Amino acid sequence: MEEGEGSNGGVFEGGLEVRVLVVDDSPVERRMVEGLLKKSGAMFQVIAVDSGKRAMEVLGLTDDKAEHPTVDHQKVDIILTDYSMPEMTGYDLLKTVKEQSCRKPIPVIIMSSENEPQRISRCRAIGAEDFILKPLQTNDVLRLRSYARPTELSPRTGTKRKMTLELMAENSGSDRRPRLAGLAVS
Amino acid sequence: MALHFSSAHPISALHPLLCFFLHDTYPEMEYASGLQRQLASMKKNLFDQGYLDEQFYQLEELQDESSPNFVEEVVTLFFRDSSRLVANIDQALQKYPQDFRRLDNFMHQLKGSASSIGAAKMKNECTSFREFCNKENREGCLRSFQKVKKEHAVLKQKLENYFQLLKQVGPVDKATHSGN
């Protein structure tokens, strides 16, 4: 399987599937977010982990990647991470992801129960796409769709929330996965 | 629902006939209806007395054919996790000197989970505890923690009763926000 960055999701019966990596040390909140994502429609495929460290493994960003080059890292389209976690906080994860995936950055959305302006601006300053207050609601999940990453060929859009995902027909001679194109998401 | 038959009403003639045909099922229907009323009343009380808030409706909204036991599943998960956190806090409070940051972290987690399932009273007591933590007031923390534990135990019992009754009632339509 390919690396975690550079993915625009798979295609499944019914439309585009967006892989969301949910990172939260609380099993209750993980389950809630998973339930919300699945309820919002079949377009979300959820990968839920309980720590920043585990998220790094899923994304293929751990130091031992070189020792295990055949490890099957899952592709991720959006990262939805809690801010306050032990050992590796959501902020630490955000920073690492943005540093590592500079070629095709994965959108990172921070979740927090604390509405602290300093925390929010700190996260946005290093590239967080959004900051959502917990507990998450249905509206928050619907917003995630607008953060599905565009490809290099997507045209500029008028507002930050509108993105175009581009579909390229799968080349029979290549390993590239089909991607969705020409679809405006608002 | 009570059926009223007027002696002047033609359908009153059918009443004995209806009772004859329904005599096996009418008591069961009445029993089921009574259970449903009991369930609705129990749920309403949980909200009126402040144990639950609107976030609990969010849980219910996420329950469907693909996740038919979602609410009970998440609540069970909550009590498993919260019991662990309560034990951790209990242990941490016995230590000296007090690590208020550690205490606050545990309580932050507990508050977050409580908030996710709509456990309003618990959430409020967690907030009070954290305020004492921020002031490094150990006595305040101890008093507040007793309230957290009390609310935790009370909510656990009430929700266990609720789900037990829910199982007896069986699959019903989604409850309205009024709790009826």
Contact yes or no for A26 and B62 at CB 8 A: no
pLDDT tens, position by position, B55-109: 999 999 999 998 999 999 999 999 999 999 999 999 999 988 889 999 999 999 9
Structural domains of chain B sorted by starting position, each given as residue range(s) with its CATH number in brackets:
58-165 (1.20.120.160)
B124: exposed, middle or buried (Cβ count in 10 Å: 0-12, 13-18, 19+)? middle
3-state secondary structure B10-53: HHHHHHHHHHHHHCCCHHHHHHHHHHHHHHHHHHHHHHHCCCEC
Residue A162 has pLDDT above 50, yes or no: no
- Cβ–Cβ gap A35/B74 under 8 Å: yes
More confident residue, B76 or A99: B76
- Say how far apart CA B75 and CA B32 lie, in whole Å: 25
Spell out which residues of chain A touch residue B81, defining contact as CB-CB under 8 Å.
26-28
CB of A51 within 8 Å of any CB in chain B?
no
For B119, which residue in chain A has the nearest alpha carbon? A135
Spatial separation of the C-alpha atoms in residues A23 and A54, rounded to whole Å:
8
Query: Cα separation of B148 and B124, whole Å?
Result: 9
Nearest CA in chain A to B59: A32
Query: Does the pLDDT value for residue A178 go beyond 50?
Result: no
Let me know: does A36 contact B70? Beta carbons within 8 Å: no
Q: Which amino acid is at A121?
A: S
A7-36: b (≥16 Cβ within 10 Å) or e: bbbbeeeeebbbbbbbbbbbbbbbbbbbbb
Of B70, B81, B115, the CB nearest to A134: B115
Nearest to B115 among A27, A39, A113 (CB): A113
Q: What is the mean pLDDT of chain B?
A: 87
Q: Quick check: A60 and A4 in contact, CB under 8 A?
A: yes
As given in the structure block, the two tokens for residue A95 are 């920073």
Residue % of chain B over a pLDDT of 90: 71
Structural contact between residues A21 and A34, judged by C-beta atoms closer than 8 angstroms = no
Q: Are A27 and B66 an interchain contact pair (Cβ–Cβ within 8 Å)?
A: no
pLDDT on residue B13: 66
The verdict on a CB contact (< 8 Å) between B70 and A84 is no
Name the minimum distance, in Å, from the CA of A87 to any CA of chain B: 12
B50-55: long-range pairs with CB below 8 Å, 24+: B50/B120, B50/B121, B51/B119, B51/B120, B51/B121, B51/B154, B51/B155, B51/B158, B52/B118, B52/B119, B52/B120, B53/B118, B53/B120, B54/B118, B54/B177, B55/A135, B55/B115, B55/B116, B55/B117, B55/B118
Alpha-carbon distance A9 to nearest alpha carbon in chain B (angstroms): 23
From B80's Cα to the closest Cα of chain A, the distance in A is 10
**What is the identity of the amino acid at B170?**
G
What size, in residues, is chain A? 186
Nearest Cα residue to B79 out of B158, B171, B132, B133: B158
Check B108 against A84: CB less than 8 A apart.
Answer: yes
Residue B44 — pLDDT band, cuts 50, 70, 90? very high
* Residue A185: both structure tokens together: 């998401």
Q: Determine the pLDDT at residue A175.
A: 43
A5-34 pLDDT per residue, tens: 444 445 444 456 889 999 999 999 999 999
Chain B interface, best mutation among A22, A24, A25, A32, by max B CB count within 10 A: A32
pLDDT at residue A182 tops 60: no
The C-alpha atoms of residue A42 and residue B104 are separated, in whole angstroms, by 38
Chain Cα centroid distance, residue A120: 18
B109-150, pLDDT tens digit by residue?
999 999 999 999 999 999 999 999 999 999 999 999 999 999
Tell me how close the Cα of A17 comes to any Cα of chain B, in angstroms: 18
Which chain B residues are within 8 Å of A35, Cβ to Cβ? 62, 67, 70, 74
What pLDDT is attached to residue A74?
Answer: 63
Q: What is the pLDDT of residues A54-77, one digit of tens each?
A: 999 999 887 765 444 444 456 899
Provide the Cα torsion B70, B75, B79, B80; round to 10°: 0
- pTM for this prediction: 0.75
Identify each DSSP E strand in A13-128 by its residue range: 15-16, 18-23, 44-49, 78-82, 108-112
Reading the block at residue B62, the tokens are 């996420």
Q: How far is A65 from chain B (nearest CA, A)?
A: 32
* B54 at A interface, C-beta within 8 A: no
* DSSP-derived pairing of the beta strands A78-82 and A18-23: parallel
Q: Indicate whether A185 pLDDT > 50.
A: no
pLDDT of residue B19: 58
- Percent of chain A past pLDDT 90, that is, above it, reads 45
Fill in the amino acid letter for B94: Q
